[in-house]
Amino acid sequence: MKLGEPGVLPNTWRGAIGKAHQRVNMVNYEKSEEILKYLKLNEDYNKNFELIDCYPGCGVWSRALHKHLEPKVHVMLESFDNYYSWNKDGYNRDLSASKVIQVDPYKWKVYNLLERYGAYKPEHVPFNQINKSLLYTGQFTTAQGGQLLSQFITCIAYRNWIQKFGRIRMLLWVRDTAAFRAVATPEEPSRGKLSALVSLFADIDVVAASDSNDFKRQDTKTGKFLERIPALRNAPIKFSVDDTFMKGPLVLLDVKPKEQREWESEISAHEMEYVLRNLFITPKMQLRTSINTLGAGAREYFESRLGHLYDKTTHQLTPDEFVEIFQEFKVWPYKPEHLFDLGEDDLDSRTKRDIIQFI
Amino acid sequence: MLPLTATARSAVTRGRLLKSCRLFNSKTSALSVAGAYQTHSPPMHDIPEIIGDRSPRVDISTNSGKLVILTDLFDRPTEGDEEVDAISSRNRYIRNRNHVASLMDALVTSGHLKRADIILPQAHEILSPEEFALVRNDFLQMFVKKDLEDHKSVSYSINWLQSSVDRFPGIPLDSKSYAIIIATACRMPDLLRGNEHISDLMKQYKKQGGLAKDILQHVELFTFRDARRVAMNLDIDEEDLPADFRTDGSRSASPEDAESMSGSVTEALSKMQQCEAQDILNRLPPDVFKSGFDSLTPVDSHGIKLLRSALKGVAASKRPQLPVYASNPDADASREDEGFLHLEEQLSLLPDEDQTKYRDAFESYNMDRQLALETLALESARERWKYDYEQMHARGEVRVKNINHYLWEWHTAMTEQLQEELKRIDLLLDYGTGKPSKSKTRGAPKSAVTPSDRARMRYGAYLKLVDPAKLSVITILELLKMHSSGGGGVTEGIRTTRAVLNLGRAIEMEYNSEQLLKSDVVQTGFRATKSMLHSVPEFKRSLAVAKRITEGKNLSSWRPEWPDDIKAEIGSTLISILMHVARITVSAVDPVTGQQVSAIAPAFTHTYQYTGGLKLGVLKLHRDFVNKISREPASAMLHPQQLPMLVKPKPWVGWNEGAYYYSKTALMRTKDSAEQTAYIKEACRRNDLESVYEGLDVLGSAAWIINTRVFEVLAKVWNTGEEFLEIPTRYEGDINFPLEPPKDADPAVRRDWARVCKLMIHERRTSHSQRCDVNYKLEISRAFLGERIFFPHNIDFRGRAYAIPPHLNHLGNDMCRGLLMFWEGKPLGERGLRWLKIHLANVCGYDKADFQSRVQYADDKIQEIFDSADCPLDGRRWWMQASDPWQCLAACFELADALRSPDPYAFRSRLPVHQDGTCNGLQHYAALGGDIEGARQVNLEPGDKPQDIYTHVASRVHDYVKQDAENGHEVAKILVGKVSRKVVKQSVMTNVYGVTYIGARAQILGQLKDTKQIDERDLWRCAAYLTTLVFKVVRNLFNGAHLIQDWLAECAKRISKSVPPTVHSDLKPNSSMTSVIWTTPLGLPVVQPYREIVRKQVGTNLQSVFISDPYAIHPVNSRKQVTAFPPNFIHSLDATHMLLSALACGRNGLTFAAVHDSYWTHAADIDRMNAILRDAFIKLHEGDLVAKLKEEFERRYAGYMQFIEIDNHSREAKRITEWRKELRTRLGRKVTVRDEIEEESNRKELLNSNDPIKRAEGAAMMTPLSIIGNTDIEELKMKRVYTTNGTRNAVKSTENESGEKTSEEIIRETLGIPDSVPTERQETASINDNLEASEETMEEHSLDDEVDEQETVEDTDSTAIGSNIKVLKMRGLGIFYPLTFPPVPPKGAFDVKTLRNSLYFFS
DNA sequence: ATATTCTCTACCGACAATATCAATAGATATACA
DNA sequence: CCAATATCTATTGATATAAGTAATAGAGAATAT
């Protein structure tokens, strides 16, 4: 059974989908199996684990995953009506130990509730090993996918959200536009704050990606990163647009959180975010210059401590070097009184009052 | 040459002010957008005389044939672009005429002639021949001066001149070019060579066809003696000499005199001016104090002292101020502060002669001080810093530096650094180019010129125009000012863009002021000459010079505005230098050792913020310094530009002539819109704005004084540092943030924590800003205590008047208003006392009752009033509960004084008493529409007591609510009894401004929330429901107003989507260039500036900034044009009303001040003012303004084409479609808008031709218009089709979770968990718990209500007006059709004259 | 040419995103110690 | 002196950036089909 062909999913969906129409879905079952085989997931995850499966959408990936690994709990979170019933009462109705819940996995609160009500009950596993009792996957293929990816990575840094249970591996379907930011290494053109954070806290692999040739001829910009970014271009597994519903560029990322290192306990992720955010504003400037955005007098103060890095640009800094900077920043007596980014504060008086009351 | 403007001014005595101003005549420069305007002359509307027999006629007829219509605005940019392209130079940073002209000016003025010479060819290409001739002469003048200095000869100049003819073909040397060199040749030490040069040049000039006498016409260049010499040398007849150089027998100038005049006229005259100043100094005090005004002495006559003490500069006799305000100034100071006022009061006891003498002396004295204030304030600030610095060092207190100490350090360091910078710039400008350097590599040499050096070559010349020390002071003051006045939308710090541009602008202003001052020297010199050299011919000559220079100034020294990118570069350079040198000592706790450590840190930091994912550059001031600022008084941080004035502002005479004497101020605050500027200049040129000028002059001539007692109370309160009324607490130390949640806390928790923290920062920052603001206000008040001050005014683009000095003026908040009262006192009289009481009631918020009750109110509260007046802070503090507490306090003082004086009626009251329009916007609408019901609601119709529209709307809304509630409407039930005036007020008010349903609902929601009477979960529905009701009620009540509003909007829509008859560039189909323009009854052209903003990045020292090119004209933002037009039109009317009233008040001798729709005068004059303002309103509205507006539109947009859609099934539409196809094949390409319009204009041309063949040809021609022919266009137009129920939302919004169920519901359901709430809920104990809990309960509730809502909403159609009737829009065939306007809505029966008897119209 | 989606939501006083890179056009020196 | 070219620079236009979407509803403009 192959979805995406006319008739399998009613065409009327297109008009009725609303925002969900942006969601690109993997709908080739065989391809999904191929990917799963390549990942050799069954070595780590066999039956005795729980699967959180966001935006199953057409449900093909979910089905393949389920069949391949047979999780003891398979929670599908699907907010969109049609997709929801498609999975619940249709295509995936027969999956054992599965629940399709019509909630939006975009919302943090959902996870709290799911945990509270025991939809999944993962073990807490120490941070020296991957937590194999829980696997997280989802098709975050709307424009917000990038945001979610970014936040998921941040969650690894904080070890909060589902990452509080241990190092939870995540298989994330995202668009090329989201993927390419996450996979860059130092000195690569797309190196930025996100990829720096990724390289500090996770091992990330591009498992599969759309074939860039499918997007070449279009004059639109869609999918051009598939071509431009080597990591995507050289993905181990390629698939065609015809393998997707809503025909868009798609990338599967395999995110494995790194083990917890000693320095993590000293440094607040809040500080790391601050440092990264500010340094990456001028990625091509030498640290000598860019470090000044960290606060008044930063250059002079850090000269003696980080001077050996001053000739490097932010763009060139390696994870270890970032850690070095974090550590020095941590003990800087003159750091700014707060590290918040005050942008986007159109707080009107009402909200203000509410929050003030709350304090 | 135009006749002098402003000569026909009214009887307002301006004495010498006026005289001097006439010299500043406004001339539209030849370079402004050429005014190819059309003048039609429809019948004049005969407007009867306005107000009072003393009033000369004021023409308020809009359409009396004097519309300013500029049609060629759009041509220029196109041409300009082509020119720029033609230059094809790598140095293309010279982009436009403004740029090249200002750059030339800068280079020439700063003496970098070599560089200027390099730029000159580009100027030649970009500028018009006239412009270039001016620029070249400026260059020449400096060149020849240098030539003479360096070589004692002018031969280089002559060579240059010769070559110039070849270099710049098409631009012949004019008489001035020759005059410049000849005049200089006269000063060559080698007289013989000089004479040779002179005759050579003369010959050459004659060969060119010039007349010798033309050369001598440039009297400003020649001294008397030189002119004679030239004349003699060349055998010029006496008769051919300009009158100024003729010897007509009275010549008695000694050679010494003449000698003293040689050299630059300016220098000589400036010498004289000094003489005069000295003379004044010597002469003045005895004159002034003759009649025993000894108490004047402490404020000496040398303006600077006042300035210093005023700005807290050095007063040698005074000890440095403690860092707090002396809340009770010592007796001496107090006497000094009040000095002028007491004197003024006692003046009446003196003989007339002495009074006049005193007054003259006082004016003259203040004039001097005004000069000092405007020109020396920067030095004064610097002196103050220095003084503090030295004092601290003398006392050895250098451990804790105060602000001024730092500022002095920064200043000295910065000045030094700047000098380095300027040296480098000198080198670059003089040798940076044309010096080939060698290199081994192929290609261009790796020159030593770095990118930053290249930047220096761009902005360097500008930087050199102002003294480094001044640059530094301005930089510091400007940054501090911006820091305290909120950084432009950023919570912390200042937007870099704003900072660099403002600073650049400040430097430019300073330069312009200096230049102005230089030319003014000539004028003052003229005055001196007058008194000193009566019989000398030199005097006559100098008169001519002064006249020539001042008149010519506008022409010859076209001092073009510096381009924004230059401003940005200058600003950023200065800021980077300051950032580099400005350091402070900071201390902190080392997080490792726990020790207190301290270090030197930069005071300013450059960082970035992300807003919505976009970067935003921000400059931050170190928090330790910020704390200092909020602790110490603003003392020497006062920005000296645009302070209140000590003398009556210079009367307005031109678009940038008026207000301050020594700096240019724009009449209109334009929004970087070339169009606006062009129109205002043109209107000024045509003397259309006399009435506007005069109105503003009246506002500016209101003399004010600081209310000392209010000031004292305020100062006392301020010093406590505690919260008081709107003054927030003084915070110090770090913000006490809530504890950061544990690392593994939920992201939502973390987000909420961050929000709370950010909010606290925001709060802190806001209160700091507010305190700074109060600080500035206090400081200005303090500086001007006891002084007679004036607020010069200018207008916004709609004509509304604003006081120019920021911070403290009567348009400010309650506190500002409380601090100010009129300088002049007027005996109250019986009516005055009554009005005073009413005023008191008004400021207490008791303003909705009839007058008698308000008087009664004041009488009833008399004990409280006395108590407040006697012990404002230690008593019962009754005044603090007033709605305008500070003004209430002032009123208490005044009333108490009056009542306690022996004869209250004779009490000279200074308190301004207000008369406010009751919902002024609606008043105008009602008058426009002749809307009887509306007129009654806003007190246009006489009544026993004031109508309060807000209360009325509230009660009508409430009626509906009750009715609906009875019918079982659930939401209505909730709201019964809760619809207060306050809830609806804002929305009713903003309705005039075209608030949308969404906006109004948000307002009502906020108000409802404030009442706290309504459950959170119901708020939204209630607000939505109420909003529809309010809209309904308001629309019913002011139906006439809304018809007009709609009509205005429709006109704006058509205009903003229309295209002019001649389209010069291919437009994108949907972009039009036409903005809505109209003329107010006073002749002010109003141009709506809303256009698409196009900004570019410009690199600067700090960062790249994003700025727009103000000279580019972009497509209009038609949406904004439409939505803003109705309110803007109404505001242009209320502005007119105000200015008319001001005019009349001025002419009737009343002191008049206004805050848009609140008119102020002395209590005693309120009755007269009331009559005047009513008359003015009647006169304004007597004609049918809407009809006139339509007429104007029809004339202004005659020939414009509008884009309309016609029914595409019509016969005409089909034919047009075919015609277009045809045209397409004919042209062989796509048909553009331009093609079609060209076709049409071709047809018109043919039709209008005299040649019958052509006419026939035209008649035979087919265009869409000919196809439509006489068919009624209204018939063809697409009709709006109304259908019930839009299908639009039916499909939408399925992405949401099904129904309104909460996530929790769904999860429980899906997981099959029973509804019983599990007990393990407390597991996440953190700050989040509360939040989450409340969120959940909210959702549960909304779930409960859901069923009800669906039912009720469905079947209550009584309120849902039109909500399920949707306009179904169908696309028609778009064609261009001559722009027409809909018929004006019929006018109602209300006669505006009846308001003459309406007591509460303004009250 | 028609349908869908995107945007914006009250006026004025009081305008503002930035870093980096690729492509391109224009200028200028080149062959010596 | 010229021509050709290599190299350098300024200018312009494109693109990415951060990271909760708390809600509401209707018109008009922009963009996609």
> Which residue ranges form the domains of chain A, and what is each CATH number?
11-260 (3.40.50.150), 266-359 (1.10.8.100)
- pLDDT given for residue B635 in this prediction: 62
More confident residue, B1170 or B523: B1170
Distance in angstroms: CA B1370, C1' C1 = 12
- pLDDT given for residue B734 in this prediction: 82
CA dihedral B778, B780, B781, B782 (to 10 degrees): 80
Query: pLDDT grade, residue B1231 (50/70/90)?
Result: low
- pLDDT given for residue B251 in this prediction: 39
Query: Among residues 237-296 of chain A, which lie with CB inside 8 Å of chain B?
Result: 268-270, 277-278, 281, 292-293, 295-296
Range name among B78-82, B479-483, B591-595 with the lowest pLDDT average: B78-82
User: Residue A220, CA: closest nucleotide via C1'?
Assistant: D32
| Catalytic annotation, residues of B | 916, 985, 1157
Query: pLDDT grade, residue B756 (50/70/90)?
Result: confident
- pLDDT given for residue B418 in this prediction: 95
Counting every residue written for chain A, the total comes to 359
- pLDDT given for residue B1390 in this prediction: 92
CA A60, CA A32: separation in Å to the nearest integer?
Answer: 8
Query: pLDDT grade, residue A213 (50/70/90)?
Result: confident
User: Residue B1335, CA: closest nucleotide via C1'?
Assistant: D22
DSSP of A30-67 = HHHHHHHHHHTGGGT--SSSEEEEE--TTSHHHHHHHH
Q: Which nucleotides of D are covered by protein (CB under 7 A)?
A: 5-12, 14-30
More confident residue, B1114 or B860: B860
B1097 forms beta bridges with B1106
Query: pLDDT grade, residue B1348 (50/70/90)?
Result: very low
Q: Are B1246 and B1258 in contact (CB under 8 A)?
A: yes
More confident residue, A66 or B1007: A66
Distance in angstroms: CA B977, C1' D20 = 39
Nearest protein residue to nucleotide C25 (CA to C1' distance) is: B90
Q: Sign of dihedral through CA atoms B782, B784, B788, B789?
A: negative
Whole-angstrom CA distances from B713 to B329, B752, B874, B889 are 12, 41, 11, 10
For the residues A348-352, what does the mean pLDDT come to?
Answer: 50
For the residues B507-522, what does the mean pLDDT come to?
Answer: 78
Range name among A66-80, B304-318, B768-782 with the lowest pLDDT average: B304-318
Contact A159 B745 (CB under 8 A): no
Q: Of B235, B226, B224, give the one whose Cα is nearest residue B202.
A: B235
- Tens of pLDDT, residue by residue over B33-62, are 222 222 222 223 322 232 333 333 455 544
Range name among A148-152, B123-127, B164-168, B347-351 with the lowest pLDDT average: B347-351
Nearest protein residue to nucleotide D13 (CA to C1' distance) is: B1096
Q: Has residue B550 got a pLDDT over 70?
A: no
- Tens of pLDDT, residue by residue over B946-988, are 999 999 999 999 999 999 999 888 888 888 888 899 999 999 9
Percentage, residues of chain B above pLDDT 70: 73
Query: pLDDT grade, residue B485 (50/70/90)?
Result: confident
Counting every residue written for chain B, the total comes to 1403
For the residues B94-101, what does the mean pLDDT come to?
Answer: 76
For the residues A143-163, what does the mean pLDDT come to?
Answer: 93
CA B1267, CA B1133: separation in Å to the nearest integer?
Answer: 41
Q: Has residue A160 got a pLDDT over 80?
A: yes
Spatial CB neighbours of B154, under 8 Å, sequence gap ≥ 6: B144, B147, B148, B181, B184, B185, B188, B194, B197
For the residues B397-424, what does the mean pLDDT come to?
Answer: 89
Residue whose pair of structure tokens reads 């900077």 in the numeric block: A325
Q: What is the pTM of this model?
A: 0.85
Segments of B1050-1186 assigned E as strands: 1058-1059, 1077-1079, 1085-1087, 1095-1099, 1104-1108, 1153-1154, 1158-1162
Does the C-beta of B1097 come within 7 A of strand C? Answer: yes
- pLDDT given for residue B15 in this prediction: 32
Q: Has residue A16 got a pLDDT over 90?
A: no
- pLDDT given for residue B1392 in this prediction: 93
Query: Among residues 307-336 of chain A, which lie with CB inside 8 Å of chain B?
Result: 330-334, 336
Distance in angstroms: CA A220, C1' D31 = 13
H or E stretch at A74: strand A73-77
CA B427, CA B664: separation in Å to the nearest integer?
Answer: 32
The segment with the largest mean pLDDT, out of B231-235, B375-379, B1344-1348, is B375-379
User: Residue B486, CA: closest nucleotide via C1'?
Assistant: C14
Does the C-beta of B297 come within 7 A of strand C? Answer: no
Average pLDDT, chain A: 88
The segment with the largest mean pLDDT, out of A281-285, B296-300, B732-736, B967-971, is A281-285
Q: Are B627 and B667 in contact (CB under 8 A)?
A: no
Nearest protein residue to nucleotide D27 (CA to C1' distance) is: B1367
The segment with the largest mean pLDDT, out of A17-21, B49-53, B403-407, B699-703, is B699-703
Contact A343 B746 (CB under 8 A): no
- Tens of pLDDT, residue by residue over B373-396, are 777 778 878 888 888 888 888 887
- pLDDT given for residue B764 in this prediction: 87
Contact B607 A119 (CB under 8 A): no
For the residues B1212-1239, what does the mean pLDDT come to?
Answer: 76
- pLDDT given for residue A323 in this prediction: 97
More confident residue, B223 or A106: A106
For the residues B1106-1125, what does the mean pLDDT come to?
Answer: 84
Query: pLDDT grade, residue B1215 (50/70/90)?
Result: confident
For the residues B657-663, what does the mean pLDDT come to?
Answer: 85
Query: pLDDT grade, residue B365 (50/70/90)?
Result: confident
Residue whose pair of structure tokens reads 């909705």 in the numeric block: B848
Query: Among residues 160-179 of chain A, which lie with CB inside 8 Å of chain B?
Result: 160-161, 164
CA diameter of chain B: 119
- Amino acid identity for residue B7 in this structure: T
Q: Of A316, A315, A318, A286, give the one whose Cα is nearest residue A302.
A: A286
CA B462, CA B569: separation in Å to the nearest integer?
Answer: 10
CA B1377, CA B1363: separation in Å to the nearest integer?
Answer: 33
Average pLDDT, chain B: 76
CA B828, CA B905: separation in Å to the nearest integer?
Answer: 5
A257 forms beta bridges with A202
Q: Has residue B72 got a pLDDT over 80?
A: no
H or E stretch at B920: helix B920-929
DSSP of B855-905 = HHHHHHTHHHHHHHHH-TTTS--GGGGSSSHHHHHHHHHHHHHHHHSS-GG
Query: pLDDT grade, residue A80 (50/70/90)?
Result: confident
Q: Cα A19 to the chain's mean position, in Å?
A: 20
Spatial CB neighbours of A288, under 8 Å, sequence gap ≥ 6: A299, A310, A311
CA dihedral B1309, B1314, B1320, B1322 (to 10 degrees): 60
CA B836, CA B839: separation in Å to the nearest integer?
Answer: 5
Query: pLDDT grade, residue B351 (50/70/90)?
Result: confident
CA B905, CA B909: separation in Å to the nearest integer?
Answer: 10
Backbone angles phi, psi at B606, to 5 degrees: -105, 115
Q: Are B210 and B175 in contact (CB under 8 A)?
A: yes
CA B743, CA A269: separation in Å to the nearest integer?
Answer: 8
Percentage, residues of chain A above pLDDT 70: 89
Q: Has residue A272 got a pLDDT over 50?
A: yes
CA A196, CA A181: separation in Å to the nearest integer?
Answer: 9
Query: Among residues 491-530 of chain B, which lie with CB inside 8 Å of chain A?
Result: 491-492
Which residue among A113, A334, A355 sits closest to B759, beta carbon to beta carbon?
A355
Q: Count other C-beta atoms under 10 Å from residue B613's C-beta.
A: 8
Q: Of B911, B912, B919, B969, give the one whose Cα is nearest residue B939.
A: B919
- pLDDT given for residue B1372 in this prediction: 65
Q: Which residues of B touch A107 (CB under 8 A)?
A: 1303
More confident residue, B19 or B728: B728
Q: Sign of dihedral through CA atoms B581, B585, B589, B592?
A: positive
B845: left (phi over 0), alpha (psi -120 to 50) or beta: left
Give A351 to chain B, closest Cα distance, Å: 10
For the residues B789-798, what does the mean pLDDT come to?
Answer: 96
Q: Are B589 and B733 in contact (CB under 8 A)?
A: no
- Tens of pLDDT, residue by residue over B1145-1190, are 999 999 999 999 999 999 999 999 999 999 999 999 998 999 999 9
Q: Is B746 on the interface with A (CB under 8 A)?
A: yes
